[in-house]
Chains A and B, each alone.
Chain A
């Protein structure tokens, strides 16, 4: 019998204690937002929060999570409105999307401890999560944006900005991971007709 808290609810189930937590979540509890990628804790697609910290679940026996507090992508925020989820939509991050639950859970742990990250800190925190579509430019940008959203929410209690994508055109894109904070964005300078709405 395995016992833990999952997205705020107590769970008890009969399962082989050696079963990796990933498969308990996916097969026994039907939460498929957490993904199977490499099976050796190298890609990050299986990331959840265990006792408040990002953890890879594909190699973690459910036994090791006994009594723990587990949060998955499905339980990250009510109404799916975590600053990261909002930023992920605003920056149109996902391509195939398969890694994104893991990316978001990794970033959520990171931002909790580092609410005002530098570009280098974002890169270092996210380097362990593989995105096979290589949507790294947008992942990086969205983590920064989420930090801004979270800080704005904390100060003004007003959530959300615009719901459409970035404020700039898609006709021009720049990325500079070494730039100082705040400059990682689409350039609005060379707005073309692609930017009209």
Chain B
């Protein structure tokens, strides 16, 4: 079945093909790797378009001349200057995952560069970078092969040139810490570059480069600091909200004006009917209020308050009196959305979605099963609540638009602005900055649109900032969900069949419908981000999984991608359902899981990405049982329980193997749950940056705690009910449990780490609560009132 990443890869190929066609000359369109020395700095160019090779091949100029003439736009991953500085170009967004450090490590490992000479730059959007997106925990995994090979190619070229310059045989040379060494002689990379070198690699040569064996690694898997940490301790890191245009740009395009959006009562269909700014005019610095006309449809019934500074815009907005005619979406609330979800999962069909897994019809097996277990699980709307609220600075110069803000999907952002401003393709550039949190919120580029529309309207650069409530109301929330699962056991307690239906708003349908995946058996499209996780690695006999699109949700808001996306709800259901089955089979839930993880058939795994398959999930489960003291589980104090849950990360095609045990103590009188401890063991293959990996695990598990017990809101009257702290309560330090975390030592293919930890925690806690007091909570987040009510019924 074609999944999102397959679609993305296909899209990348199309872009690359189009790019090659437009720039190729001389009939050579092969991709290759090219190195040329230009004006004292070597550019190592991977994935060179035809023009460069053609220029060299037909004698019209050497590679270096081509580079210096700028006659082509190769995909350049890094450059080495004559002082030896290696600058790695980062196309991914830096939002807390230290991604630049990990990617630079991939290059440096094979290049054998000196880490202390490494710099990174976060590039502007440009077609040469391909489709620009940072999400899905994909960055290190997808960059591993290309960046490692680019690094290795550079090493080979530097050794060849260094050997020549030293007058020694290539075979006598090795590269270490930015030097080519032969016996007692050595040259630094900077010296070699200064002397000049040229080298090109064909696509075949590049693909044939073997990466170092794991035993030779000197960087990956080792300790080391993140490049972005120091500027984040002294106030020097520049986030989108901090960015101001340099004076020389303002001298050309005008001084920046500041804006705050005025949000309509609901997301869709609102129209402004009256505006009174008489009070707002009293704010010093207030200029005007403008209505935003948006051909792209993102901003329906929006205004923008324009002022000399944001503080004035913020306060003037509060004094503005606006009347709207409300759109229909104002009436669509969470109750209606969830009622539709219940309807969809009770009779799933191709009218509303497709099958993700279909191993035949489980119904006859379920009817003949000795025991059947059926249950329904729900989750509420969740906000991204990035601490840096949405913002963007937009301006036009000579017909070209520039957008400065932190963003996770530059390719979508620029296309949205293109549409909203009714521009030709290629007239918008995104300039990247640090992101004060991403979590999937900034996979959408919607917040750049009102800034650009306002700038167009006033003819000056505009920096627009959303206040916290503005940001919450404009958030592409994690859709609420409803799921129904039904499974059957035979007389021996084996699972013979299982069916699962999940209904939610579909983020991909809302944000980027062209990327919807083809469902199996010609059954239409589905959004894998609405159902991933349900295609788990347990052998549950004949399995069928339905993804259903809750279109009522789409009437109220734009469903978004929130850290981990679908597994945030699918695992909430699957991992509790497995526990329910274990209880029905009168087996220990961990031992029951071990038996289901037989690693046979489709669960055997495939090299190199999922080598070992379910066996690796068994491995982390066994280890977490040891670490957590699972064997003592039945001798815990009263009202104390332990629960387990597993995750395979985001996708079967890139599994991160996660096991988590939660230990809780329940206060029966209040329904309060004290999360005492989390124990987690993770196998993520090779860790490019182990300390960053641990930071992601710590943070993602605590995100899991936060969403399990503290976050969650509901959509009502056109927006989320909770729009700021007070009503919305992400986890604080005093709520952090004891934690005991471990990575499996592995040299397998690196996989994702930003998200996988988030999704195991809630079901582990729910299973622990059930173990502690015999009551199961099926609605997320778990609130004390719900537990108290359930206890009184029990």
Residues in chain A within 8 A of chain B (CB atoms):
16, 18-20, 23-24, 26-28, 30-40, 42-43, 45, 72-74, 76, 80, 85, 88-89, 92-101, 104, 123-124, 126-140, 164-166, 169-178, 190, 192-197
Q: Which residue of A lies closest to B215 (CB)?
A: A193
Q: Shortest beta-carbon distance, A64 to chain B, in Å?
A: 15
Chain B contacts for A34, CB-based, 8 A: 235
Chain B contacts for A89, CB-based, 8 A: 225, 229-230, 233
A-B contacts, 8 listed (Cβ < 8 Å): A16-B283, A32-B235, A43-B725, A98-B436, A134-B699, A138-B698, A194-B743, A195-B223
A33 touches B468 (CB 8 A): no
- Bound complex: CA of A95 vs CA of B388, how far in Å? 13
Q: Shortest beta-carbon distance, A150 to chain B, in Å?
A: 16
- Bound complex: CA of A137 vs CA of B467, how far in Å? 29
A95 touches B695 (CB 8 A): yes
Binding site secondary structure of chain A: loop
Chain A contacts for B223, CB-based, 8 A: 164-165, 169-170, 194-197
Is B401 on the interface with A (CB-CB < 8 A)?
Answer: no
- B424-466 vs A, CB cutoff 8 Å, 1 = contact: the mask equals 0000000000111111000000000000000000000000010
B229 touches A94 (CB 8 A): yes
Is B24 on the interface with A (CB-CB < 8 A)?
Answer: no
Chain B contacts for A177, CB-based, 8 A: 733-734, 736, 738
B310 touches A23 (CB 8 A): yes
Chain B contacts for A23, CB-based, 8 A: 309-311, 314
The residue from A98, A126, A131, A166 contacting B388, defined by CB atoms under 8 A apart: A98
Interface-facing stretch out of B134-142, B175-183, B238-246, B290-298: B238-246
Chain A contacts for B228, CB-based, 8 A: 94, 97
Chain B contacts for A39, CB-based, 8 A: 314, 467-468, 724
Is B702 on the interface with A (CB-CB < 8 A)?
Answer: yes
A92 touches B691 (CB 8 A): yes
- Bound complex: CA of A133 vs CA of B310, how far in Å? 26
Looking at B239, B242, B703, B733, the one whose CB has the most chain A CB atoms below 10 A away is B733
Q: Which residue of A lies closest to B388 (CB)?
A: A98
Q: Which residue of B lies closest to A41 (CB)?
A: B725
- Bound complex: CA of A99 vs CA of B725, how far in Å? 15
The verdict on A132 contacting B743 (CB below 8 Å), with A165-B225, A177-B736 known, is no
A174 touches B739 (CB 8 A): yes
Looking at A93, A96, A140, the one whose CB has the most chain B CB atoms below 10 A away is A96
Is B130 on the interface with A (CB-CB < 8 A)?
Answer: no
The residue from A26, A35, A129, A137 contacting B698, defined by CB atoms under 8 A apart: A137
Chain B contacts for A31, CB-based, 8 A: 235
Q: What is the size category of the interface that chain B forms with chain A?
A: 35 or more
The verdict on A175 contacting B739 (CB below 8 Å), with A32-B242, A89-B233, A101-B235 known, is yes
Q: Shortest beta-carbon distance, B325 to chain A, in Å?
A: 29
Q: Shortest beta-carbon distance, B81 to chain A, in Å?
A: 25
Chain A contacts for B232, CB-based, 8 A: 94, 97, 100
Is B49 on the interface with A (CB-CB < 8 A)?
Answer: no
Is B541 on the interface with A (CB-CB < 8 A)?
Answer: no
Chain B contacts for A169, CB-based, 8 A: 223, 690
Is B362 on the interface with A (CB-CB < 8 A)?
Answer: no
Shortest 4 CB-CB contacts between residues of A and residues of B: A33-B235, A97-B232, A95-B96, A98-B436
Chain B contacts for A197, CB-based, 8 A: 222-224
A97 touches B96 (CB 8 A): yes
Is B371 on the interface with A (CB-CB < 8 A)?
Answer: no
A-B contact count (CB 8 A): 242
B702 touches A136 (CB 8 A): yes
The residue from A37, A95, A98, A99 contacting B699, defined by CB atoms under 8 A apart: A95
Query: 11 other contacts beyond A16-B285, A194-B223, with CB at 8 A cut-off?
Result: A32-B238, A39-B467, A45-B387, A94-B96, A96-B438, A97-B228, A132-B385, A132-B437, A165-B224, A170-B693, A197-B224
Chain B contacts for A178, CB-based, 8 A: 738
The verdict on A38 contacting B468 (CB below 8 Å), with A135-B698, A172-B742, A174-B740 known, is yes
B437 touches A96 (CB 8 A): yes
Q: Shortest beta-carbon distance, A45 to chain B, in Å?
A: 6
Chain A contacts for B123, CB-based, 8 A: none
B736 touches A175 (CB 8 A): yes
- Bound complex: CA of A49 vs CA of B705, how far in Å? 32
Q: Shortest beta-carbon distance, A163 to chain B, in Å?
A: 8
- B722-749 vs A, CB cutoff 8 Å, 1 = contact: the mask equals 0011100011111010111111010000
Is B386 on the interface with A (CB-CB < 8 A)?
Answer: yes
A133 touches B242 (CB 8 A): no
A36 touches B229 (CB 8 A): no
- B266-287 vs A, CB cutoff 8 Å, 1 = contact: the mask equals 0000000000000000011100
Chain B contacts for A94, CB-based, 8 A: 96, 228-229, 232-233
A85 touches B234 (CB 8 A): yes
Q: Which residue of B lies closest to A32 (CB)?
A: B242
A130 touches B96 (CB 8 A): no
- Bound complex: CA of A194 vs CA of B690, how far in Å? 7
Chain A contacts for B742, CB-based, 8 A: 171-173, 190
Q: Which residue of A lies closest to B679 (CB)?
A: A174
The verdict on A74 contacting B235 (CB below 8 Å), with A23-B309, A89-B229, A96-B387 known, is yes
The residue from B315, B438, B693, B736 contacting A136, defined by CB atoms under 8 A apart: B736
The residue from B238, B695, B697, B726 contacting A42, defined by CB atoms under 8 A apart: B726
Chain B contacts for A24, CB-based, 8 A: 311
Q: Shortest beta-carbon distance, B438 to chain A, in Å?
A: 7
- Bound complex: CA of A38 vs CA of B467, how far in Å? 7
Is B687 on the interface with A (CB-CB < 8 A)?
Answer: yes
Chain B contacts for A171, CB-based, 8 A: 687, 690, 694, 742-743, 745
The residue from A32, A101, A127, A194 contacting B745, defined by CB atoms under 8 A apart: A194
The verdict on A27 contacting B235 (CB below 8 Å), with A40-B725, A193-B745 known, is no
- Bound complex: CA of A26 vs CA of B698, how far in Å? 32
A100 touches B233 (CB 8 A): yes
